[in-house]
Amino acid sequence: MRHALWALLLLAGGSTLLTTGCTGESIHPPKEWDEEAGNEGTDVHIDPAKLNNPTSELGTDKVRPIAKTIEWLPIGTEEGATYSDEALIVDRILRDDADNNYAVRIRLKNTTKDVQKAKWIIRFYNRQGAQISGYAGGIGSGEKWQGVVVDPFGYATISDFARVMGADGFRLYVKGAGGSADGSPDDPANAAERKEKREARKAGKQ
């Protein structure tokens, strides 16, 4: 009788455990978790207008000028400036003034069939005309000219940025064969004279 009672209790307990293990209701997640996850929250919508940083031109390869909400002060070197008897020309200028930290990247073009070797420095200025030290070029007696080599009819990019805030413009100086001693750009007023000299040199070589 005693053994029969124990068998009955064990049978009842096993049945309860089996029922709980099969249904598993106590560990089921909430009903909404039964649904498969979709793509909600994964779509990224970016306003195209925000892709164009209004205070920066650096890093863009667009052919046409990008739209911006600020105007760069015309107090320095501009595109089209030439050096070394027009052998090197400023083909593109890209500026950045994010957080008032002025930086510039300049693309030089070699207009000749010869390799052009030159030294350059970028000097930064505020709107009152006071010079500000550049990271690569320095200032005053600590100025450091940098070297550049431009392949025939090729391009080379040079860059620098102001060490402190307040710069509003820059001037590029390039020392090369046939150029000015201090690296100043060619004088546009003497363009015709330079052309005549170049043609005379070509005629002499023939």
Q: CATH number of the domain at 106, please.
A: 2.60.40.3230
Indicate whether 67 belongs to any domain: yes
Among 176, 180, 178, which Cα is nearest to 201's? Answer: 178
Please compute the mean of the pLDDT values over residues 16-21 and round it to a whole number: 48
pLDDT at position 73: 64
Indicate whether 42 belongs to any domain: no
* Beta bridge pairs of residue 99: none
Indicate whether 187 belongs to any domain: yes
* Beta bridge pairs of residue 156: 108
Statement: residue 18 has pLDDT above 50:
no
Indicate whether 198 belongs to any domain: yes
Tokens of 169: 């413009």
Q: What does the pLDDT look like over 21-35, one tens digit per residue? A: 445 455 555 555 555
Indicate whether 12 belongs to any domain: no
Give the whole-number percent of the chain exceeding pLDDT 70.
58
- Greatest alpha-carbon span in the chain: 132
Tokens of 181: 């001693």
pLDDT at position 11: 59
User: Is residue 64 very low, low, confident or very high in pLDDT (cuts 50, 70, 90)?
Assistant: very low
Tokens of 150: 């431009």
Contact 75, 169 (CB under 8 A): yes
pLDDT at position 187: 86
What is the DSSP code (8-state) at residue 25?
G
- The overall pTM is greater than 0.85: no
Indicate whether 20 belongs to any domain: no
**Number of domains into which the chain is organized:** 1
pLDDT at position 13: 56
Indicate whether 14 belongs to any domain: no
User: Is residue 177 very low, low, confident or very high in pLDDT (cuts 50, 70, 90)?
Assistant: confident
Q: How big is the CA angle at 120 (ends 183 and 191), to the nearest 5 degrees?
A: 40
Q: How big is the CA angle at 124 (ends 92 and 66), to the nearest 5 degrees?
A: 35
Indicate whether 44 belongs to any domain: no
Alpha-carbon distance of 84 to 181, in angstroms, equals: 10
Alpha-carbon distance of 113 to 64, in angstroms, equals: 27
Alpha-carbon distance of 112 to 153, in angstroms, equals: 6
Count CB atoms within 10 A of the CB of residue 77.
19
Residue 126: which domain range?
A: 53-205
More confidently predicted of 194 and 97: 97
